[in-house]
Structures are given as C-alpha cells and as structure tokens.
Chains A and B, each alone.
Chain A
Amino acid sequence: MATAGGTPAAAGDNLKRLTDLYRMMVRIRTFEETALEAYKAGEIPGPLHVSFGQEAIPAGVCASLRHDDRLTSNHRGHGHALAKGADAATMYLELYGREGGYCRGKGGSMHIADFSVGMLGANGVVGGGLPIAVGAAQGLKLLKSAAIAVCMFGDGATNRGPFLEALNWAAIYTLPVLFVCEDNGVAAHTETRTVTAGEGPAARANAIGVPAVTIDGNDALVVEETVARLVADIRAGRGPRMMHAKTYRWTGHTATDAAAWRDPKEVEAAKQRCPIARLKAVLIERGLAPSALDEISAAARTEMQSGRTAAHTAPWPGIPSAFEDVQDVGAVHG
C-alpha cells in the first residue's frame, strides 16, 4: 500500500496482506483448473482461455486498487475479474451460460463483466479494452472522481494500432490510467518477439511518453510493490503509467490447444518459476503455518467446486431474454 507520501511500504511488512495476495492467486488458479475440468467434461460451451502461471499479475495489480477504480480486461480475464472482486459462483454461471450469470448467459468466459466492482468487461477483440480504458479515465476526470482506470492487455495487443492511440491519448490528457501488459511471450500460436520490432512494450510506451517499467511478473511481491508505486503516481495526478510484466503461460492459447509446438523443457522451466509456489515459500519463511496455507487451498477448492456444481444444475436463461438489452428504442421482439 502506498503511504501518504506516495512511497510504498516495504512489501514484507504485513503478513496478512501477503496472505490475501496468496489467497487470491490460489483462487484464480483453482477457478481455472475447475473450469478446465468442466470444459473437458463438456459442461462449458464456447472458447475458454486460462492463465496458469500468470496469477501474480492480476492479484498484485488489484491489491492497490479501490472498489470504484475501473478495469478493462481482455480475452484471458478470469483472473482480472476475480481479483477486482467478482464473485466466482456468478462467473461460473456465466461460463456455463446460465440464468444468474454476470451477463445473463449472453457473454460467456470471454465477456465477463461486473460493473458493481468496476470490472468493465473482458473483451473478445485483442486491444479492444485500450481505448475504452482511456475513455473511462477521461470520464472519471470530467466527473471529478478520484478513481482511476486500469487496462489489462497481452503482449500481442502491443502490435495493434489502438495501443499507440490509447497510450498517446492518456499521455496528452494526463489521464489517470495504469496500463498493464501481461507479457507471456506468445500471441495465440506465434512467439510475439518473432513479429515485433524494437525493444518491446516498455520501450514503446516510453517513446510515446508513458513512463513504463519492466518487471518479473511471476514475483507477486514485485508486482504488488510496483503497482503500488505507479498507482500512487497516477493518483497524484502525474498521468498514465505502464507496467510491463513478464510471465509465461503454461498452457496453449485456448482450452483445446495443446501448444504442441512448444518445447516441453521450456514449459517445465516456467513451472519452476510458478508465482504461487514462490509466494508460498516466502510466506513459510515469514512464519505462516503450513496448515494455514492448506486451509487456503481447501477453501478455494470448496468454493470452486460448489460454484461449478451450482452452475451445472442452474436453469438456462429464458428464451425471451435473447431479445432483451439490445436497445430501448427500436428493439425487436421474439
């Protein structure tokens, strides 16, 4: 957390805070493990993008956010939603396309949104959240709100035009936005470096005029500390900042993609840098009882299993709802 002067407190000061960070990462991992199981069992339709190995980033980012801060996400957004405060059971209902889901069954995994916690939506278009996030920040500024906007996107998005546009936009209007590039090195089935000129996302951001830092995105403490510092700058009115967080995605692009082209040794090496295992080691070293860690895992499993079961047995949305929420004027009826 930032102190009044804007300096982050030393990351290890507060065991409870680290435990909360750990719990969130475990919940994200368990949410997606459970969702993947359900997907493989044929219970969940549509595309599903999981983020095993990347959990430190959403958990560390959202630890410094307020409830009314807004966040835009991308296609790989389960962790972003959970970390911003969305409810796992309601997310499962949406993944299953059932009544009571966040989008009443109209969005699915790729379009989870929970406006009540400032989560302005996952996005099926790579880079789609960038212009929306800067606009949210501009709107908040116009309304004289103290809230900020956060934009989560992948390395792949940095090759789309809206990346240039949105960063430039945020800089010229000194907007309260934190850009977070989750760099897992791949965009679908292509290693991003093979299709990207220059020095990478942080160099691009700095060149545009958005101060950026590159960090180890698999170290939750570093993520949290960095975000606390950048958010303090943003809240102080110093304009946008970018965090380029390097990480690795253990699985393929979607739930059905084995990513067989990848060297298994590379994946194994990445698992050795598992962000959850790393934070666990820190917590044990700082004296947290192993039983407390087990309880966190057990609680996450119970939460996710009950969410899965409830969603699997929940009713489908009523057919008339297909015609609802299109528009007020000029709506058609079934």
Chain B
Amino acid sequence: MAEVTLVEAGRLAVLQEMRRDPTVWVLGEDVGRGGLWGQYRGLIDEFGPERIVSTPISESTIMGAGLGAALVGTRPIIEMRIFDFVMCAMDELVNQIAKVRYMFGGQAKPAVVVRTPHGMWRNSAAQHSQMLEAWFAHLPGVVVVAPSNAEDEAGLLVSAIRSDDPVLFFDPKDHWLVPGKIADGEIAAIPFGKARHARQGDALTIVTWSAIVPNVLAAADQLASEGIKVDVLDLRTIWPWDQDAVAASLSRTKRLLVVHEAVEVGGFGAEVIATMIDRLGPSGLKVAKRLGAPRIPVPFAPPLENEVRISPARIVAAAKAAMA
C-alpha cells in the first residue's frame, strides 16, 4: 500500500488511464498548470498540451466541447474547477450530455467524466461551497459519483474514465490533502453502486457519502466508545446507489439515519428514506431520519459557516435521537 493524499490518488488514476488509453484527455481551466489543486500536476510534461488542454473561462464550451469530442470517439475528462461553475454550463450538461444518447435513439455515446470539486472549503462562502449532488441524481442519463477518501477517489475515477455513460464525479475538495492508502501497482476499478461498509454495528444504520463521511466516522467512533455500535454505509455513488446494502443493514438495525452535507430539504437523504420505506414496508423500519444543512446559502464568517456544517457532535446527537 502506498500512502497518498486524496488529490494525489486522483492524479495517479488519471495518469494511469491516460497511459492506458490515448483517447483519454483533460480539458479545463489551468489544467496545464496542474489544476487548481494539483489534480493534474505534471501531466502536461508527459502528455503535452493536446491532451492536457488549458482552456479559456468558457464553462459552456468546456462542457459542450467535451461532449462534442466524445461524439467523435475520444474520452474527455471535463474539469470544472469548482462545482458552482457547473451552473454556467447547465445547458450543455443537462440538455445535451444527459440527453444525446436517448434523444438520438442510441446513436450517441457521451463517454465523458465531468469532474467537479464540491462542498465547503476554507470559508469560501455561498458561490464556492455548494453541494447539489441531489439535482443530478434526479437527472436521467448520468451516473453520480461522490467519493470520500483517497482509495475510492482513485478506484472510482478509473471506473468513471472507462465508463461509456456520462459520469458526474464530485471531488470532496475539503479533503484533498487528507492522507489515505491506495494499492501499489495498478489502480483497480471500483464498480458504481457498491457502498463501502465503513463501520459495523447493529444499533443504527447511518447512510452517508462524500465530504461528510469523516465526521460520520468520528461520530461512530465516539458512539462506539459509549458502547453503541452503528453500521455506517458510505454510498460512494448516489446514482446508482447500493439499495441492497442499505436494506440488508436495516434488516438488522431497523433504524435509519441519513447524513449529508447538502441542504436537508429535498436532499438525497429523502430519496434514501422513501426508497427504504417502499422496500421494507411500514413495519420494516422503526425510525427513519435525515440530517443535513439548514436551507440557507453557505455563509462566509466561520461562526456562521459552522451553522451549516454537520459536526460529529450533531451526528452523535441525531444518532442518539434516532435510537431513543
């Protein structure tokens, strides 16, 4: 096992796939200088400016050109810098990338990865902190990936690059520098739709994903120290998502808590709960709760921002409430 940061794990995955497949390339702002966080550091030296393409600040065309290049048989990694700027390319993502295969009766293969760092990061305020992954789970035609650690970042990015489906890949930008471990040698692809069973227990099932996972694990460890063992499932991908793993856990615990950094109202937690109620029936669940951010934009000042942040203490409290 090699010890690497999450950002380096992602870089190594891109490097491996670009060496394997000459049709893989990257386009986005500043990628020739390594990308905003060094996700592409040094790649231009090996692959040149034709495959590591620094672009103008033209989000619509970064997204749309990625699609056009996929339609002629290449596999672009569309780097969107910070998720909030995907908003400037919603037509290209929602009306074009997500639609072409279906709308053209199967003729198009939009094999793109839209890579987009999301979530809170160093008090970046309302336009640089959003988590809107639920919007895209709602969007037919795309796969939605949201890893929480270095190993998953690498393995899921390999899958995303090899996928013929368009993949929205949400990097947890607050954890770029968190160290993790990846296997030596070839990075193995991690299949979409398989949760990581991050903690084992029978008292409660906590379902979570992306940047909030470390806080959930801290909460689970605290609960364990108090003698309460909870099951933690890191979904890793929210479309498709591992309904079987969640249902299997709930068959033991009967209690569900979904935790996400995104706004609670209309979040993907609601989908998890509704699906499990449908699947397990009214008697299959004793409790189903969700914990997410209040429905306010992410504020700037640290004490205000903390109102939005789901701390381990809040998760512990929510878990205890769910077991009361």
Contacts and interface: CB of A to CB of B under 8 A. Distances in A.
Interface of A: 70, 72, 101-107, 111, 113-115, 120-121, 123-125, 128, 130-143, 145, 149, 161-162, 165-166, 168-169, 172-173, 324-330
Nearest to B64: A131
Interface stretch (B2-10, B65-73, B223-231, B265-273): B65-73
Contacts of B56: 165, 168-169, 172
A330 B239 contact: yes
13 contacts: A72-B68, A106-B103, A107-B103, A130-B64, A131-B60, A134-B64, A135-B64, A135-B70, A138-B27, A139-B68, A143-B72, A168-B58, A172-B56
A328 B164 contact: yes
Contact of B104 (A103, A138, A161, A165): A103
A161 B61 CA distance: 10
Nearest to A137: B68
Nearest to B50: A142
B108 A139 contact: no
A106 B108 CA distance: 13
Given A172-B56, A326-B140, A327-B142, A162 B105 contact: no
> B-side binding surface: helix, strand, loop or mixed?
mixed
Contacts of A139: 68-74, 76
B106 interface: yes
B143 interface: yes
A168 B62 CA distance: 12
B67 A326 contact: no
Contact of B69 (A128, A130, A142, A325): A142
Interface string B62-90: 01111111111110100000000000000
Nearest to B89: A131
Given A161-B60, A165-B58, 13 more contacts: A70-B72, A102-B107, A103-B107, A115-B71, A121-B104, A123-B96, A132-B67, A135-B67, A136-B69, A142-B74, A165-B56, A166-B64, A169-B55
A128 B91 contact: yes
B240 interface: yes
Given A165-B58, A329-B193, A134 B68 contact: yes
Given A143-B73, A165-B58, A138 B105 contact: no
Contacts of A131: 60-61, 63-65, 67-68, 92
A103 B107 CA distance: 8
A149 B141 CA distance: 26
A125 to B, nearest CB: 5
Given A131-B67, A142-B25, A113 B60 contact: no
Nearest to A121: B104
Contacts of A141: 50
Contacts of A143: 23, 72-74
A281 to B, nearest CB: 39
Contacts of B165: 327-330
B155 to A, nearest CB: 15
A162 B25 CA distance: 22
A142 B61 contact: no
Nearest to A111: B103
| Pairs of residues from A and B, 6 with the lowest C-beta to C-beta distance, nearest first | A131-B64, A135-B68, A135-B65, A139-B69, A330-B240, A103-B105
Contacts of B193: 329-330
A121 B72 CA distance: 13
A46 to B, nearest CB: 13
Contacts of A145: 72
Contact of A325 (B53, B63, B64, B105): B105
A107 B100 CA distance: 10
Given A169-B56, A327-B142, A329-B240, A132 B65 contact: yes
